Structure 1
């Protein structure tokens, strides 16, 4: 008989700033059919967590709720019908929400096994970001040696993985960053050209770098601050991929602008659209873990905060005071 456990967790008490995060005691019950209970060893921190907290994205449950969508841990108990995992297995996930807790219940069909050779902190800092990069580069726009890409926030957690993965595919990578320090990081990871958007006009620099040819695809997680300028970096029939809102939401715009700027394509994808089926998730995770284990993508050890300090971690992330990934440790 598996008994319920009392654990510590961060909860969102209302929409607002980091101050609406509270550190509470909650009860986690026995796993139901198809579920496992896992004990977290590392929890991923992502920009989407701040969107949900602030209200930019709708709350997934009544307040208060446990935020966070990425975690790694050890299976503590399994529910009826679960055959793929057993107690003691090391697993990770990129959904559903509820990761900011010492323990949680999770659907077994959304978990993936973490291979030997990848640490808990590296896995927790790279599953969501890495699966995001995988769909961006291999499915939303299939990048190859013939392509020149512009990746905004190239020194961020997603950008660091994307730069290396895109280079391994043979692409020419132009990255934007917000500081000289981040420019050094992006260069060290293989960016062919780095633009500091705080001191340079990135549209003009893209034109200079490409000799006026511009780029095949722009990957944009910044949002308001880089729109519509990102469209001016694209070749005729190029693709603008908007996958985040770090500076705020992209404002409403007339679809006619895509015609005016060169018969462009625009898309707003999310991970859920690419790994909704179990087979899709397993295949995508295998691709991610393979490029990490091969050394083609090297994930830097993340910055860490205690779970209790999640509010400070989110402040640092929103203030652009982090480089690479951030992980919460229970």
Structure 2
């Protein structure tokens, strides 16, 4: 059997993305064959395409991109007991840009009926990231001040809403005036347009000179060092993404004066066990079902249109999550 896939044979820009046919094997022990109904599109996909995904990305070419999706199980391999044909599921696992694929059953999550395939595929990775960022790595509590960079982006929309629902005062930064109202509609009380305003100075002004309790930085190089100027003493700066480039080396003495805590986490360690994976997903699905977090899909693309999808993703002109429909 063959299936349509998008893969790369070398690293580079959107032009290296190839829509092709590939052989599809039967599921082995502990695996399932999944007919995908939706595939997530994440900025991290562009890092893998460019060869900047980090030391963990050692797959041999050609590589099928993508890291999350949703669909219906068609067949199961031996030893699979938690899932059966016909189950609606979502997952986080490399190689998502495909119409059908074989995945380890341990990567799958049952989808509640209230969560659509499109929402699950577009937001699962971001949702589980937001979960550990606001509930476990830094436990947001009422009265906290949280600064969220790129507050109108896919992650920013979730972080702003969830932190607000947990009682934080959320300050967001955005790159354009057109995104101010979007950020405010998703949990931000105050919004700073960083392209024309000094976000560090304004954050200090908005907090009466104290600074934010926690800063969520998915931007990286262009935002990280300046974030150290507007965190409170003993506050935490969380560098969870590098949309503007890697932070790179910096002088640890910059943390000394205010005893600043800096961390560079990754989702895979926070959902490494099945127990943590299921608990994080349950918390995210509950937040969506209860209305604390609106998980929205703002754009959709055909799998054949993947080059345009990557071009628009990298343009920074897009707002919120997108999904690929096989």
Is the TM value for this pair above 0.5? yes
Structure 1 residue 229: Cα displacement: 0.2
- Cα distance in 1 for partners of 2:241, 2:234 equals 22
TM-score by length of 1: 0.96
Q: Is the 8 A contact 1:34 1:80 kept in 2?
A: yes
Which of 219, 232, 237 lines up with 1:222 in the alignment?
219
Structure 1 residue 175: Cα displacement: 0.5
2:230 maps to what in 1?
233
2:23 maps to what in 1?
27
Q: Are residue 302 (structure 1) and residue 298 (structure 2) matched? A: yes
In structure 2, the gaps of 5 or more residues are none
TM-score by length of 2: 0.97
Structure 1 residue 29: Cα displacement: 0.7
SS in 2 for 1:123: helix
Q: How many residue pairs get matched?
A: 324
Which of 3, 9, 15 lines up with 1:7 in the alignment?
3
- Cα distance in 1 for partners of 2:280, 2:173 equals 26
Of residues 245-254 and 51-60 in structure 1, the stretch that sits farther from structure 2 once superposed is 51-60
2:252 maps to what in 1?
255
Structure 1 residue 207: Cα displacement: 1.0
SS in 2 for 1:297: coil
1:85 maps to what in 2?
83
- Cα distance in 2 for partners of 1:34, 1:174 equals 45
Structure 1 residue 108: Cα displacement: 0.6
Which of 169, 173, 178 lines up with 2:175 in the alignment?
178
Q: Are residue 107 (structure 1) and residue 104 (structure 2) matched? A: yes
- Cα distance in 1 for partners of 2:297, 2:323 equals 9
SS in 1 for 2:222: helix
- Cα distance in 2 for partners of 1:208, 1:123 equals 38
1:63 maps to what in 2?
61
Q: Is the 8 A contact 2:224 2:239 kept in 1?
A: no
Q: Is the 8 A contact 2:297 2:323 kept in 1?
A: no
Structure 1 residue 18: Cα displacement: 0.9
Q: Is the 8 A contact 1:72 1:124 kept in 2?
A: yes
Runs of 4+ in 1 over 3 A off after TM superposition: none
Structure 1 residue 139: Cα displacement: 1.1
Structure 1 residue 312: Cα displacement: 1.1
- Cα distance in 1 for partners of 2:187, 2:170 equals 8
Structure 1 residue 146: Cα displacement: 2.7
The alignment's C-alpha RMSD in Å is 1.0
- Cα distance in 2 for partners of 1:253, 1:289 equals 38
Structure 1 residue 292: Cα displacement: 0.4
Q: Is the 8 A contact 1:222 1:246 kept in 2?
A: yes
SS in 1 for 2:172: strand
Structure 1 residue 57: Cα displacement: 1.7
